[in-house]
Amino acid sequence: MTLGVVHLALRGARRQQHARVAGARARSYQGAASSASAAEAGLDPQLSQSPSPLRSLTRSGVPLRMLILGAPGAGKGTQSARVRQCFDVAAISSGDVLRRNIAAQTAAGRMAQAAVERGALVSDDIVVELIRTELAQLETGSWLLDGFPRNIEQAQALDTMLAGTGQPLNAVVNLDVPENVILQRVVERYVHVPSGRVYNLTYNPPKVAGVDDVTGEPLEHRPDDNPASFVRRLEQYRTQTMPLLEYYRSQGVLASLSGSTSDAIFPQLYALLDQRFE
């Protein structure tokens, strides 16, 4: 995808998105299989709170060990937030972990910042060690990871970490979203760094421009959320991350969920988890 094609795709995506938004605001979210599931599936990921206690017990008794995969901007963070409003699942976002370290200007954060400003991915050694530290605090209970692993080497490092606990991955979800939709998302995306809440200027804007709805703190536009960086990140994703789909398919844990909006994908994700939790 060249920059010229990127800009054309962006204009087309914006026209399509404005048309969809008008219709989406006039109808409720698509529900899951039952009316109770529908209520949970339609939660606003930014503001709503779960109307019932979080579901914490899995039917098998084995804690959930799940990954959410997808291209940059596919909505991994949004889906993670919605899952946590329905299920008692701890979430680790590699992007949030990196941003916290960048904001704190830790040694790892400074190295990560240099990579982000170049539109490059952070080195495996830095990311693996940060994730290892996070997982060490979550030995019990269910959890999900988004944004990690990004390549086969990271996946193998994760498998090694989990082998020591006797609790390997038991679910991997791939978010299959059209590239032109993703492009619009990333260039209009703003983030509340401390919480990881994500806003979009078109279909999920903050109540007050530039300010987080919950805390009133300022939002940030990521340095790599621009068309040029998107092209580079997408190529890196195709080269490094897409092979993970076959890696996890061969392990029998992969499920792909398709859609152009988070509202279209979440009912599918909810249904998948509904089968696992009591």
Among this protein's residues, is 15 annotated catalytic?
Answer: no
Question: Is the pTM higher than 0.85?
Answer: no
Catalytic residue among 65, 197, 233, 276: 233
Among this protein's residues, is 276 annotated catalytic?
Answer: no
Reported as a single tens digit per residue, the pLDDT across 14-31 is 444 433 433 333 233 333
Among this protein's residues, is 222 annotated catalytic?
Answer: yes
Catalytic residue among 20, 222, 232, 249: 222
What does DSSP assign to residue 156?
H
Catalytic residue among 99, 150, 197, 276: 150
Reported as a single tens digit per residue, the pLDDT across 200-231 is 888 789 999 999 999 999 999 877 777 788 88
Catalytic residue among 55, 65, 76, 82: 76
Domains of the chain plus CATH, in order, are 3-43+56-274 (3.40.50.300)
* pLDDT (average), residues 138-159: 91
**Read out DSSP for 253-271?**
-EEEEE-SSHHHHHHHHHH
d(Cα 64, Cα 67) in Å, to the nearest integer? 10
Residue 222 burial (C-beta neighbours within 10 Å; 0-12, 13-18, 19+)? middle
